[in-house]
Structure 1
Amino acid sequence: MQDRYDAIVEAAKSAFSEKGYEATSIADIARTAQISDGLVYRYFRNKRELLYEVLKKFYERILLDLETQAFRHDAFTARLEALIRRHLQVFVADTDLCRLFISEVRTASDYEGSSIQELNRQYTSVLIRIVRDAVKAGEVRPDVNPKLLRDVLFGAIEHLAWRHVNGKGQLRVTQTARDLTLMLTSGICGVR
């Protein structure tokens, strides 16, 4: 049972990545998984539920990795740069899923309040914890708003990555992470 479930999710991931959500049918997914259409419905009520399962698995994998990469460092600047670098690497390694999330999931009417939105919050909350720890340690000014910094940083990264995600540019991960870290820390670590 679990093998079939996993095969369906993997087939859906491939189909959604290749064709996009709207252009993918349950028949496409079933064909890729080498099962009947009806068997897909035994595990998932509809295509949307299957999409959310694909994204849930994606988030579970990248969330653990993001925390591991960021918290292996002690200093705020090193943590911030590791977080930025890892997030940029996700755009490079999982370009199709990132495009799918940005263009077809986050803008959908059922995103607000969904389990995927909650996973996205958990993912971005890693930065909030890093900033709060740095404020306590005196590395970041106490008047810095962690949620505003989260929005600025992840918004900037998404904007920078959008050309790459759409096949119109190359994402320079290491240099971009270094530049963004320097830019942000120049504004939030200094004395006011």
Structure 2
Amino acid sequence: MKNTKDLILANTFVLLLKKGYDSVSISDIAAKIGISRGLIYKYFDDKSELVFESCKKFFLEEFLTDIGEISLEQCIEQFIKNLKRVIKMLSEIAGEKIDVLKYNLLYAEVLMRDSRLKNSAREWSLFLKKNVLNRARKNGEIKNISDVFIQNVFLDILGRVSCLHETLPENCINSIISDIRTFYKLIRA
């Protein structure tokens, strides 16, 4: 971990995945990391801010790295690389494989509870549309298909729970990655 704040955010997120939104307390987080509650409050005003910042980091910010002026295909591959990195990092912190179903369910729950995360997710989606989809269409990379349809299918693939039948978390991730790449092939010009 880069610093204490990152350590707090990552461990908070892992506890949210393991215990659920309502069952995690500041004391749980402090105990997991081996720090005082006061140190957590040095960085975050309250549990709500901590949960928001943690979820924003591991649902959005970790996936926005290195997507400057790249093609949609390159963006997808960068997203996949970031997904694998994030899941590996969180699994190492948790001491076990991260359950993608729990990850997606937590995302849905936090979106419903915290309008700040919902607004951040909306901004992220608009950024991708403006900077990646529009460029892909302009450069002839993809067919002339509705941006909303493309965004919705990608989000459906990423957020789905259809991999419930998979027994190993990495099989679910591999299934999602395969479906993202297959969908890209379908919309490619």
Give the TM bin, normalised by the shorter chain: 0.5 to 0.7
Judged with a 3 Å threshold, the aligned counterparts in structure 2 of structure 1 residues 3 and 79 are, in CA distance, closer, same or farther, namely: closer
How well do the aligned residues superpose, as a CA RMSD in angstroms?
3.7
Instruction: Verify the 8 A CA contact 1:99 1:165 in the aligned structure 2.
Output: no
The alignment's TM-score, normalised by the length of structure 2, stands at 0.67
Instruction: Write the distance in 1 (CA, Å) between the matches of 2:167 and 2:21.
Output: 15
Q: How many residues align?
A: 174
Q: What corresponds to 2:148 in structure 1?
A: 147
Instruction: Point out the more displaced range, 118-127 or 24-33.
Output: 118-127
Runs of 5+ in structure 2 lacking a partner?
Answer: 91-97
Contact 2:12–2:29 (Cα < 8 Å) also in 1: yes
Query: Which of 68, 90, 104 in structure 2 is aligned with 1:99?
Result: 104
Q: Structure 1 residue 25: deviation in Å?
A: 1.3
Is 1:49 aligned to 2:54, yes or no?
A: no
Q: State the identity as a percent.
A: 24
Q: Does structure 1 residue 35 correspond to structure 2 residue 35?
A: yes
The residue type paired with residue 182 of structure 1 is: K
TM-score of the superposition, structure 1-length normalised? 0.66
Q: Do the aligned residues in 2 keep the contact of 1:8 with 1:33 (CA within 8 Å)?
A: yes
Residue 17 of structure 1: how far off its partner (Å): 3.0
Residue in structure 1 matched with residue 94 of structure 2 by the alignment: none
* Misfit runs of 4+, over 6 Å: 164-169
Unaligned runs of 5+ in 1: none
Kindly indicate whether residue 175 of structure 2 is the aligned counterpart of residue 180 of structure 1. Answer: no
Compared CA separation, residues 169 and 86, structure 1 to 2 (3 A)? closer
Q: Distance in 2 between matches of 1:168 and 1:64?
A: 24
Deviation at 1:182, TM superposition (A): 2.4
- Would you say the 8 A contact 1:30–1:37 is kept in 2? yes
Does 1:25 pair with 2:25? yes
